[in-house]
Chains A and B, each alone.
Chain A
């Protein structure tokens, strides 16, 4: 004899789950009642959105499935942003929600919400469990689905009476649903065509995306790049796929990418894209993307091939397996002319100017100092906006998987809760949050979780009292009409202290380094409020609808000044 609640926890334990992030409520009170009997840590968050982000950060930091739990109604709706964030970035997440009892489903009962209907567009699949006999099989299937093929969030909505039900339960057989993705063999013919293209290329380029990080194909990617001497650019989520200190590294490409990465894309004759979906922040005008290149697209999801960009050789499968199979077909090569052509582009933009500014606290300098202090031996969790872009541009990641950020959905408030999840998953790892004052205010209630769970997270707030990236667009494209972007916030250091966290404020350049040193020495959590230059812009910038070659360089180009404003309606 067992209960629905016991079956759920048994399944979780059997599946290797050690942590659940969530907030209890009436529709899951039976689950939390049974919990103390199980070796699973429940991390109590302060908002369910943060619970989903924490499960997401945990998954990205550990490679395991992240699990979050919420009650019915408002608990479930609060998960939605977090689930959508994980969906857009292909993160394996299992969200468990309680539901009102089966007899009242559909009657607008207290705290009833059709969460399976609501999460249809943002889950790989979801389940409403109304039969006790279906529960074990459903949980097992959900976990398998979350991490198979292209990972993604799965939601299980469990009716309260199923949780309470006491009955005999038999061990479910391992039934394989016919609709599940089948194991794909390595596509031999396409591999040969891809190898042929790469071997004959005069100006080859590799573009590495999140898929490399998800499948941990770091060694295979590096092996291929070095063997063929192919320069390598990354997407935002692909940043830690390849050490940025490597001579072949061109840095990030796209809207705020480096000149060398963007120009290399526009000039290359063969582009090998691995684990990226050619999102518009990367491509700029997709019609003008990589105009001279034959594109080899390696991705696990066949629905992404040819979706945004025309592809010459599709390679559908797991990045690590396919790169391994590709490597022996690659003939060692050198491309000295192409490399020196690219080197010339590196000098096009002055990265150093903000770092040398003696008078003002420039946000880029803060990132640079963080990098210097940590030597890159750190897991950075960034929020969204200018802070995220400066981190991506200036941090120089060398450790695989050392950057966690919300790319696809671009969710402000992601960083602090995701860092909580990452720190819980990697307790011995140094974790730094980089966030803007706007995004931080969206989930700062989780400072209480940091304290309750005793997490030694370091927090850097890039504080310019603006919704920075929106203000930048207003400056560049809306005639400096700063409508609804000036944002007030608290004294963050004092707020941190109110939560029981060491808080520091930095207002001058001289204070930056000592503050970071003090934070690193402190064994507990620390928050540093870096009050930075208010109207600083992120450059280079490819305006919406423009081609990657049309980068605005601000006033920091070595040759030209700011470009023209973008044409209307060009973006697809």
Chain B
């Protein structure tokens, strides 16, 4: 089963390396990984989509939290959460088919961000399902290139206790 984990980590040199090395040697199946700064200086947040049963995920969480630079890991799977990813799609767009493609793009509240003689670059953000939906509808036109960021996630409602970072003494 796919799980989405959100890890809060110290922004120290090599922290990404440490986490990825851990995944490699424990043979954890990482589908996507998105990381960036958080609301606190010096602290970053990483969203991981991983494959595994409950036991493997629990072990993964515990192993991650052993890393000195990892402050906490929360499994947001199955909890009310906002999940988004951004995808750029280079789709074949010969003149006669442009209107059709543009219409699809509009329906998905996506945007055309580049226009060339024979192709568009389409930018879409949304849940994984929405992005997958647009991709499958654009596929018949011919997708030349595809880049996905992977999901970021945030729990709905109040900030969970696990997110609260210990105050520096």
Contacts and interface: CB of A to CB of B under 8 A. Distances in A.
Contacts of B165: 178
Contacts, number: 48
Contact of B169 (A116, A175, A305): A175
B161 to A, nearest CB: 13
Interface string B9-25: 11000100110010001
Contacts of B68: 124-125, 145, 177, 179-180
By size class, the interface of chain B is 20 to 34
A86 to B, nearest CB: 16
Given A145-B68, A179-B10, A179-B67, A174 B55 contact: no
A216 to B, nearest CB: 23
Interface in A93-135: 116-117, 120-121, 124-125
B166 A178 contact: yes
B26 to A, nearest CB: 10
B55 A120 contact: no
Interface string A402-424: 00000000000000000000000
Given A174-B169, A179-B70, A179-B71, A303 B63 contact: yes
Nearest to A154: B68
Contacts of B70: 179
A175 B67 contact: no
Contacts of B21: 120-121
Contact of A303 (B55, B66, B168): B66
Interface string A293-311: 0000000011101110000
B59 interface: yes
A178 B168 contact: yes
Contacts of A302: 62, 65
A301 B66 contact: yes
Interface residues of A, number: 21
B67 A303 contact: no
A121 B25 CA distance: 8
B44 interface: no
Interface string A157-187: 0000000000000000011111110100000
Contacts of B31: none
Contacts of A305: 62
B128 to A, nearest CB: 29
Given A176-B166, A180-B68, A305-B62, 11 more contacts: A125-B69, A145-B68, A176-B168, A176-B169, A178-B71, A178-B168, A179-B9, A179-B10, A302-B65, A303-B59, A306-B58
11 contacts: A120-B17, A124-B68, A125-B68, A178-B10, A178-B165, A179-B9, A179-B67, A303-B62, A303-B65, A306-B59, A307-B59
Interface of A: 116-117, 120-121, 124-125, 145, 174-180, 182, 301-303, 305-307
Question: Which 5 residue pairs of A and B lie closest in terms of their CB atoms, listed nearest first?
Answer: A303-B62, A125-B68, A178-B166, A302-B62, A178-B71
